[in-house]
Amino acid sequence: MSHLAVTFSSLTKDMRVPIRTLPILFDLPEQPTSAGPAGLGANYFVANDRSTNAASLFVKQAFVRFKDLGGVEGQSLKIGRMEFFDGAEVSPKNETLASLKRDRVAARLLANFGFTHIQRSVDGVQYGLDRPTVNVTLLAARPTRGVFQVDGWGELNINVLYGAITSQSGDATNAGEWRLFGLAYSDYRDGIVKTDNRPLAARQADRGHVNIGTFGGHYIRAVDRPHGTIDVLLCGIRVEARSNQRHSATSVSPSTAVEVWRLCTTPAPMSSSDSSRRFRVLRVRGGRPGGSCQLSNEPQRRPRISGVRDPFLTVAWLSVSDSRPHDRHQRRYESDFRLPFSYGVCTTK
């Protein structure tokens, strides 16, 4: 895919003017008519009129954003074609909260389908009021096509309304954030087969439109301790869907993690004049277990893991023998622990 755009920015206005967005697909794998899509390549094939080669020129983003609207600091209005990610209205300054929010909170309901070649935007209006500790975001939009279809010009016959309030709390060593949101989704497309557990014939005969209301929130907190950081995540969501059937679902998902300082040490070579042992700290590079380390003569600094958010417990110890008398071994300790838990209730009438 080729992207080219020009962005203008001033104290009162931002503008993005696209020049070209051109996805090109070659030699897509064919898919039998009677079979479901077998992989991403087959999804592209089916979505583009069963063509093995597809290309299209369209506008991915084109918007204007008015800043400090009405003379109110932090108030903005964005109009046009844009990308939107729910839960990403505010980026926490705390590293742990930022990575936790990015990996486990943001883009769960509205996003750009970033894993596909074409992706997706929305046409609409976004209002924002951004203050030091509180953010209010409102969105009224219609999603574009795209995703697997190379023609991203047109819109889907879907209306989306979203609103959220996000608040920051605490300080650098004890930071927290909470968000409450609501999302209204109205699908007016005809001929779309519903994805429920009724027989296929019953679902094909159901021509009713779908309206879904989703309400929920999240709370995250990170507390720094001398030997690491403890973080807590709590997400809750309630879904109400109405068509020819009524569907209700509730889910609550708490989790916690302990980030332990990862310290690599090796004895520094000693001369005959040294009266005490000195150690060099191997500063961590990268956040995942098994990452590389580099030597540093700063034993007072304790590097820590950033961005480890996997449901596993890892404790590793490494000892390497060496023939040099004063540099005989290296030790590395690393650990991360996350305890996930989720509870959900689903009813259909």
Considering the entire predicted model, what is its pTM?
A: 0.75
Q: Lowest mean pLDDT of 63-72, 113-122, 177-186, 302-311, name the range.
A: 302-311
Q: What is the DSSP letter of 335?
A: -
Q: Is 97 helix (H, G, I), strand (E, B) or coil?
A: helix
Q: Is 91 helix (H, G, I), strand (E, B) or coil?
A: coil
- φ/ψ of 100, rounded to 5, equals -65, -45
pLDDT tens-place string over residues 81-114: 999 999 999 999 998 899 889 988 999 999 999 8
Residue 134's pLDDT is 97
Residue 18's pLDDT is 65
Q: What is the C-alpha separation between 88 and 295, in angstroms, rounded?
A: 36
pLDDT tens-place string over residues 327-345: 333 333 333 444 544 455 5
pLDDT tens-place string over residues 58-81: 988 999 999 999 999 999 999 999
Rg (C-alpha) for the chain, rounded Å, is 26
Residue 280's pLDDT is 32
Q: What is the C-alpha separation between 141 and 6, in angstroms, rounded?
A: 23
Q: What is the C-alpha separation between 82 and 67, in angstroms, rounded?
A: 16
Q: What contacts 65, CB < 8 A, 6 or more positions away?
A: 13, 14, 15, 76, 77, 78, 79
- Tell how strand 264-267 and strand 293-296 pair up: unpaired
More confident residue, 104 or 297: 104
Q: Is 33 helix (H, G, I), strand (E, B) or coil?
A: coil
Q: What contacts 25, CB < 8 A, 6 or more positions away?
A: 44, 48, 53, 54, 55, 117, 150
Query: Given pLDDT bands bounded at 50, 70 and 90, which one contains residue 26?
Result: confident
Query: Given pLDDT bands bounded at 50, 70 and 90, which one contains residue 196?
Result: confident
Query: Given pLDDT bands bounded at 50, 70 and 90, which one contains residue 37?
Result: low
pLDDT tens-place string over residues 229-270: 888 999 999 988 888 778 888 888 888 877 654 444 444 343
